[in-house]
């Protein structure tokens, strides 16, 4: 899977403005989207591991948002990134 970026000329009236969702700013939503894309593009994990981590990430984020923890978005994203980068996910998987 490869994501590419391209420049397009479009009519301004066809652009729909993205509004914040669940109290997240546009920057926070972009950070979440970027993390999810990075995770799915990872070459170090098998598909089932990527999907399991994505599910864990979504559950953690959903729970935080339910409690009004929008400011925890960066912390949750960073802890998931650390889990993957340090190989801790494989250790959790081996234990159970």
**Residues in CB range of 42: below 8 A, 6 or more apart:** 50, 84
Burial class (CB in 10 A: 0-12, 13-18, 19+), 84: buried
- Residue 96 is predicted with a pLDDT of 47
- Residue 77 is predicted with a pLDDT of 93
- Residue 84 is predicted with a pLDDT of 84
Q: What is the pTM of this model?
A: 0.72
**Taking a C-beta distance cutoff of 8 angstroms, is the pair 43, 85 a contact?**
no
The pLDDT confidence band at residue 14, using thresholds 50, 70 and 90, is confident
- Residue 62 is predicted with a pLDDT of 93
Pairwise pLDDT comparison (26 vs 91), residue with the higher score: 26
Q: Residues 24-81: pLDDT tens digits?
A: 888 898 899 999 999 998 888 889 999 999 999 999 999 999 998 888 999 999 999 8
């Amino acid at each position: 899977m490869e994501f590419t970026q391209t420049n397009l000329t479009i009519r301004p009236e066809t652009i729909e403005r993205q509004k914040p969702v669940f109290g997240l700013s546009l920057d926070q939503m972009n950070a979440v989207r970027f993390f999810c894309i990075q995770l799915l593009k990872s070459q170090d994990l098998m598909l089932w591991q990527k999907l399991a981590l994505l599910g864990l990430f979504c559950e953690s984020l959903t729970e935080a948002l339910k409690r009004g923890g929008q400011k925890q978005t960066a912390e949750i994203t960073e802890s998931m990134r650390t889990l993957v980068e340090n190989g801790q996910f494989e250790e959790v998987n081996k234990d159970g």
